[in-house]
Every structure is written in C-alpha cells, then in structure tokens.
Copies of this chain bind each other. A is one copy, B any other.
Amino acid sequence: MASMVNVQAGAPGSVSELLDRLDGLGGSLPKRLGQCAEFLRHNIHLVAVSTVADLAAGAGVQPSAFMRFCQALGFSGFSEMQALFRAEYTQFRPDYEERLSQLRERGSQGPEWLAASFAEAGHKSLVSLMNSLDGERLRRAAAVLTEAGTIHLVGLRRAFAIVSYMGYLLDKMRVPTVIHRTAGQIESDHAMRPGDALFAVSFAPFSQETLELAARAGARGIPVVALSDTADCPMRDCARELLVAREVDVGAFRVPTAALTLATALAVAIGGSRENSD
C-alpha cells in the first residue's frame, strides 16, 4: 500500500494547492495518469460540472484510470475531488444574470443596478484582456521601461487615473518617475532626457496633447510605450510598443478596469526587475 505512485499527506485543500501538487508530481506519472494530469491542467473549469466518464473520455483514458489519478493526488476518489471544485465554484461565481434581472424588476437604473452592470462589464473586460494579451510584447514593453533612467508618464482626462496609479506604484518602488500634466507646461519636453522613456496612455477620442508629446519624444529618440483601447491609436507610429486594453462599456460609460490591471502589472514588473538589477 505504501508503494503507490504518490501518497502524500491528505487531499489538497484548494484548487491551487492541487495544481501545485500536480506540478510537484512532474513527469513522474505513468502514461495514462500523465494524460489525466495534462487534461486537467487545461480543463480545470470542467471538473465541477462533469462526470468521471466525461473527463476520462476527454483525457483519452478509461474511467478507472481517472479514478487512480484522483487517488494519486491524495483524494479518496473522484467525488471528493469534485467536491473541492464545486465548493470553490459556488464561492466565487457571480450571479449577475440573476442580480441584474432582480434589479431590473424594481425600479431599474438605480446605483445598485449600475454597480452590478459595471462589475459585469469589468469581468468581461478582464477576460478579453487576458485573451488578447500578447505576452511577448508586454515583456518587451516592460524591458524598455525597466532600462530607462527616468520613466515619464503622460495621460489626460480618463487616462489620468491610470497614469496616476502607475505613478504611485512606481514611486513606492523607488523607480524614478515623473507624471506630466501638459496643461500650460511647456517645459515638459526638456524634462525628458536621453536614456529616459515615456509611457503614454490615451483612449479614443485621443487627447491631442498626449499624442503630440509622444510624437515629439519619439522623434527625439526617446523610446515610447503606449497604452490605448484600440490598435488604431495614432501613437502606433511613434511608439516602440503599443499595448491594447479594450473595455466593455455600460451605456456611454466605462470603468478602465482592463487598462488599470495591465498598467499595474507593468509597473510591478518594472519595479521587480529594477530591484533585481540594483
């Protein structure tokens, strides 16, 4: 009984713990169980709502093999493993459909309805962000800004919130940063010196000031990383890298959830790399 594939401790207590254990097992699993592991990694979301037979078929193995796989992970069987996924699912799943329909009934368009709508839009924006994100481009953008002497940030109107949060994070991580407010400040350009870099944020319809500042920086050989809500952004010409974060609107309004998320990830990545190279 002690010579089984892998009988550690008890069963995992959460999905991420389970994934860790899966990584730990590495390639040490026999062929069929390996198939199960591979399939599970790519289809985590199916576990809560499928039968062993379905999952086994998906992984291309017999149900009994999948059972053995569950046991190798430390569970008593499939049911115990599924219970874990179901618990996690019921904990985190938003019931927007329900909530919105409820709110729609009694006097629509109140603040609560708006909050639910914006929250739902936020979910969609984040999903779309991760689906469309180009990891390689993001890495290059982070590299450009990591190597800069001082990072200059610019973004007006709705983009200013993004820039100000990024400025806060970078400053907290002791990365030399300047936030540009172009209004009536002609000296902006001269603050950018060779070796610096510019991070420019602008959403359609674009602020002329931001576009021009980015263009002048690009012309002077200062690398520009741009963030916009469309690939058609005019900055695509002057920018070394253009990142795109689309947002889902609620009527005429939106929350820049995806952009803020992407900008934060970028800032933290920059802060992390700088720290390492100090």
A contacts, CB < 8 Å to B: 15-16, 19-20, 22-23, 41-46, 48-49, 86, 89-90, 92-99, 101-102, 104-105, 109-112, 114-119, 122-124, 126-127, 129-130, 133, 135, 138-139, 141-142, 157-158, 160-162, 164-165, 168-169, 250-251, 253-257, 260-262, 264-266, 268-269, 272
Q: Which 6 A-B pairs have the closest CB atoms?
A: A161-B165, A112-B135, A115-B265, A111-B269, A114-B265, A49-B86
Q: Can you pick out 26 interface pairs between chain A and chain B where the beta carbons lie within 8 Å of each other?
A: A23-B104, A43-B95, A44-B97, A45-B90, A45-B93, A48-B48, A49-B89, A89-B93, A92-B123, A110-B135, A111-B269, A112-B135, A114-B265, A115-B130, A115-B138, A118-B261, A118-B268, A122-B126, A122-B261, A158-B168, A160-B165, A161-B165, A169-B253, A250-B268, A253-B264, A255-B260
Say yes or no: A138 contacts B126, CB within 8 Å: no
A165 (CB) vs chain B CBs: closest residue: B161
Q: What is the copy number of this chain in the assembly?
A: 2
Task: Give the CA-CA distance A16 to B16 in the complex, in Å.
Answer: 32
Task: Give the CA-CA distance A253 to B170 in the complex, in Å.
Answer: 11
Say yes or no: A253 contacts B268, CB within 8 Å: yes
